[in-house]
Chains A and B, each alone.
Chain A
Amino acid sequence: MLVEVRPTSRLRGDKPLDIAASLEPVIRGVCDSTLDLSRLRVVCDWIQYRANFREVVEVRPVVAATTTAHGVAHAAVHGDQQVEIAVDLRRSSTVSLYEVMTVAIARHQNHADDDRLFIESWGAASRSRIWEFNRLYWKALDLWEAATGQMYESTLPGGASDARNPDAVSDLVREMFTWWDELEARNALPEELYVVELGVGNGSQAKAWLDAFIAVEAEQGRDYYRRLHYLMCDYSPHVLEMARSAVAAHAQHVSSLVLDATRPTTALAFLKYKVFLVYISNFYDNLPSDEVARIDGHIYVVETRAYLSAADAAGIAADHSVQVGALPMLIDKLIALGPALVAEAMPAHFADVNHAVDFWRRVWDATRLAERYAPLAGLDLYEIAPGVTGDLLRPHLESGGDIRMHVSNGALASFVDTLPLLHPYGMLVNHDLFVTDTTRYRNGFLGPGKYDGSVVNWINGSLLAHIGRRMGFDVAFEPFRHRAGTSIVTMTAQVRD
């Protein structure tokens, strides 16, 4: 039996975690069970997100692989399969761990899931329903904010996006002016100077950047603003509209584009090799991600299945005049139509829009994810982003011992499709939550968690850097310079060679 305690930093210091007290009921619980202890893994995390998708104790089957004519496939689930028991140490003292452990093991061994209402089938995490909720949040942000009375930016660490930190913005503009001066001296500066922002939020960062641009131009006596085209890109027309009003003073130099930021070239192909700056902030962490794991030398993808506890489902169903069994249908309608339309379409269940938003928030709050490990038929067959095979995960997964890490599929897709836009002198600048060393996955929980109505994951920066380098870019990380104590890291990518 393997017991892995990941949050090692919490075992020392002023208030060390009493790991013995946490582990005692866990060990007792598994020893009292009939699980094959020789094939058992117990993994202890510290889930820092107050709102998350995990129970205090969860049993995760490791699905065995069988060989077929086409490679590797799932074996039939059987009773003596390898399992992993996951424990959230942060909440371990809030429950009777032995009792919770016993119930979780019994549920697994008896295939007794009747205390859960599943709202989707098993699948890779990036395809989970939680990402549909995430998209709904951004589409109907105004309704969510009205219901909570809180603007989304206030949910960010520090209460504001670092992208509009005035010192950071001015430094970046000065750096761009240096490249442009050099190109201008060689008569190689294009007449039109493009800057692209992906994920524009409320437009405050665009405004900060454009204001700084004018200030630096005046300071340095240049004439670049006249040639500047700033493209604000987002998949939400509502967000873009808000952002446009924020940059009204720069309207002659700003265009807004609705696009899928995981495939920017679908709308921006005309800018291939022409963009001098791609500017991104707090965006990649909000894009779908799978997780992969290496366990005993075998590679697995983490499959998830969203559910509501039976008690939560019953409460929500009662308040919305629906049978518990019909709740998944109601959730489907909410996601497909959004709260405003679903309230109109289904008045029997929703008295008004506010009632629909209440339904949405309660379901979101109650949503949890069951997990299992499914074998991968071959890393080369696992497409982690369009045109990028999982073979690029190999150095990370083979870096020594077992590991579980994010694939950051949405971020990767966006990154890989954005780099071709960059001018040979161009740069991508991204402020976000990056894991810059793969070993971090061995001692920390890095998502998913819930931020308000959205999903947040740390981004596998090591993987992005690896893939960026394979595409001919130098990718660098440094802690965000302009705010002390922040977890935000600045990633830059520039053409190498």
Chain B
Amino acid sequence: MTDTFGRGIRLHDLHDLPYLPTSVVGSYSVPEWLGRLKNDYYQNRLSWQHLSDICDVAIKAALKDQELAGIDVVSDGELRRDNDIDYLLARIPGVRVANSNKAYFYDYYDTSVAEPLPTADLVPLGLAEDFTFTRAHTSQPIKFSFTGPFSLSRRIRTEAYTDSGDLVKALATVLNAEARRLAAAGATLLQIDEPVLAGYPDDVEAAVEAINIVTEGVDVTWGLHVCYGNRHARPSWEGHYDFLFPAVLGANIDQLILEFARKGYGDLQLIKKYGWDRDVGLGVIDVKSDDIETAQLVATRIRRAIDVVDPARLIINPDCGLRHLSSNVARAKLRAMVEGAAAVRSEFPNTRPGPA
């Protein structure tokens, strides 16, 4: 692997991680100035090339922030994306966007599918290029996340499918092809985000079936992130994670990354009750609040989880993406998370088993 100057990078891989490794869920703080420039792009006042250059700079800064905070597994902050849905849907052949201009980049497009989506000879969606850029600018292990087929499907109007589950599977096939490209580009940790799933608890089995289509034949560590929504820093749903079980046990994933800091840790008992024996991404930072957790509070939250979950299986992360937090708050929260994890880690051996 080489950096942008063609020099070799000594990569740290997932096997180097300590106990209680720290990570992020995906998105990083979007500065107001970047949002304004994205608006300009979506109103045809800025070229794609200029926006892309600007995003390059923002991603490098986000990587640097995470490295300085001491995060073990970093992400590109999803800073190229307009939002979690449209960045993918607008690139999928067969998905129609009614109007590609937006007053606000974060708004969702009105998307529809008139014919069944093609599921063969699939064109690249460009995620592998995004990963390659990130890989060239950090030696840390990288988590690369993308929205899962179930959540994507909920933003599409269609009469092309009589069974909505078929649309979900078609999207999963498209994502599987892209995941293969990501793996070929060197990705070792991919995360599927299903932010909408909590609103449709009766559809979990169908969502898991689609997740298994996405992961099929892609030999990387797979994460699944399920939260209660973080659109505009608000929860879209309320409830408990019991809807995930036992269906999620059938998902071919290695990590389950969940939201706890905002809602409390009562649902950790579900991990024990249903015998989830793979990794758990423990949300210890409330991303819907500007209040900065102390390292002590983070440590307390981790110790509480250790009462229920094997510490060798715990990964420490925020509840969700950091996109709605200011840069200063995001940095401070990450520092607190790293310090809190370090305090607990000192009570354990220096290595952890490799990915499950």
Give residues in A with beta carbon < 8 Å to B: 188, 273, 380, 389, 391, 394-395, 420, 424, 469-473, 495, 497
Indicate with 1 or 0, residue by residue over B216-249, a CB within 8 angstroms of chain A CB atoms: 0000000000000001101111110000000000
Question: Do A424 and B32 contact each other (CB < 8 Å), given the known contacts A469-B104, A471-B232, A497-B231?
Answer: no
Beta-carbon contact of A395 and B32 below 8 Å: no
Indicate with 1 or 0, residue by residue over B104-123, a CB within 8 angstroms of chain A CB atoms: 10111000000000000000
Which chain A positions have C-beta within 8 A of B106?
470
Beta-carbon contact of B234 and A380 below 8 Å: no
A-B contacts, 21 of them at CB < 8 A, read: A188-B239, A273-B234, A273-B235, A380-B32, A380-B33, A391-B32, A391-B36, A395-B103, A420-B234, A424-B234, A424-B235, A424-B238, A469-B104, A469-B107, A470-B104, A470-B232, A472-B231, A473-B232, A495-B234, A497-B108, A497-B231
Interface residue tally for chain B (C-beta within 8 Å): 16
Which chain A positions have C-beta within 8 A of B104?
469-470
Which chain B positions have C-beta within 8 A of A395?
103
Which chain A positions have C-beta within 8 A of B32?
380, 389, 391
| Residue of B whose beta carbon sits closest to that of A190 | B238
- Complexed CA–CA distance, A387 and B54 (Å): 24
Which chain B positions have C-beta within 8 A of A273?
234-235, 238
Beta-carbon contact of B238 and A188 below 8 Å: yes
Distance to closest chain B CB from A122 (angstroms): 29
Question: Do A424 and B239 contact each other (CB < 8 Å), given the known contacts A380-B32, A389-B32, A497-B231?
Answer: no
- Complexed CA–CA distance, A472 and B239 (Å): 21
Which chain B positions have C-beta within 8 A of A495?
234, 236
| Residue of B whose beta carbon sits closest to that of A394 | B36
Distance to closest chain B CB from A95 (angstroms): 46
Distance to closest chain A CB from B71 (angstroms): 26
Beta-carbon contact of B238 and A472 below 8 Å: no
Distance to closest chain A CB from B343 (angstroms): 28
Which chain A positions have C-beta within 8 A of B232?
470-473
Please name 15 further chain A to chain B contacts, defined as beta carbons within 8 Å, in addition to the given A469-B107, A497-B108, sorted by A numbering. A188-B238, A188-B239, A273-B235, A380-B33, A389-B32, A391-B32, A424-B234, A424-B236, A424-B237, A424-B238, A469-B104, A471-B232, A472-B232, A472-B234, A497-B236
- Complexed CA–CA distance, A188 and B104 (Å): 32
- Complexed CA–CA distance, A181 and B330 (Å): 39
Interface residues of B in 121-150 (CB under 8 A from A): none
- Complexed CA–CA distance, A395 and B103 (Å): 9
Which chain B positions have C-beta within 8 A of A470?
104, 106, 232
- Complexed CA–CA distance, A362 and B257 (Å): 66
- Complexed CA–CA distance, A456 and B40 (Å): 36
- Complexed CA–CA distance, A395 and B33 (Å): 15
| Residue of A whose beta carbon sits closest to that of B107 | A469
Distance to closest chain B CB from A33 (angstroms): 42
Distance to closest chain B CB from A117 (angstroms): 43
- Complexed CA–CA distance, A459 and B266 (Å): 45
- Complexed CA–CA distance, A469 and B234 (Å): 13
Which chain B positions have C-beta within 8 A of A497?
108, 231, 236
- Complexed CA–CA distance, A497 and B237 (Å): 12
Indicate with 1 or 0, residue by residue over B68-103, a CB within 8 angstroms of chain A CB atoms: 000000000000000000000000000000000001
- Complexed CA–CA distance, A249 and B156 (Å): 50
Distance to closest chain A CB from B33 (angstroms): 7
Distance to closest chain A CB from B102 (angstroms): 11
Residue from A273, A380, A472, A497 with most neighbouring chain B CB atoms (10 Å): A497
Closest 8 CB pairs of A and B: A472-B232, A471-B232, A497-B231, A472-B231, A391-B32, A472-B234, A424-B236, A273-B235
- Complexed CA–CA distance, A470 and B231 (Å): 11
- Complexed CA–CA distance, A391 and B235 (Å): 26
Distance to closest chain A CB from B291 (angstroms): 10
Which chain A positions have C-beta within 8 A of B107?
469
Interface residues of B in 12-61 (CB under 8 A from A): 32-33, 36
| Residue of A whose beta carbon sits closest to that of B234 | A472
Distance to closest chain B CB from A276 (angstroms): 13
Which chain A positions have C-beta within 8 A of B239?
188
- Complexed CA–CA distance, A391 and B36 (Å): 9
- Complexed CA–CA distance, A144 and B38 (Å): 52
Which chain B positions have C-beta within 8 A of A471?
232
Which chain B positions have C-beta within 8 A of A391?
32, 36
Residue from B32, B234, B239 with most neighbouring chain A CB atoms (10 Å): B234
Distance to closest chain A CB from B276 (angstroms): 25
| Residue of B whose beta carbon sits closest to that of A472 | B232
Indicate with 1 or 0, residue by residue over B260-278, a CB within 8 angstroms of chain A CB atoms: 0000000000000000000
- Complexed CA–CA distance, A389 and B36 (Å): 12
- Complexed CA–CA distance, A438 and B59 (Å): 37
Which chain B positions have C-beta within 8 A of A424?
234-238
Which chain A positions have C-beta within 8 A of B33?
380
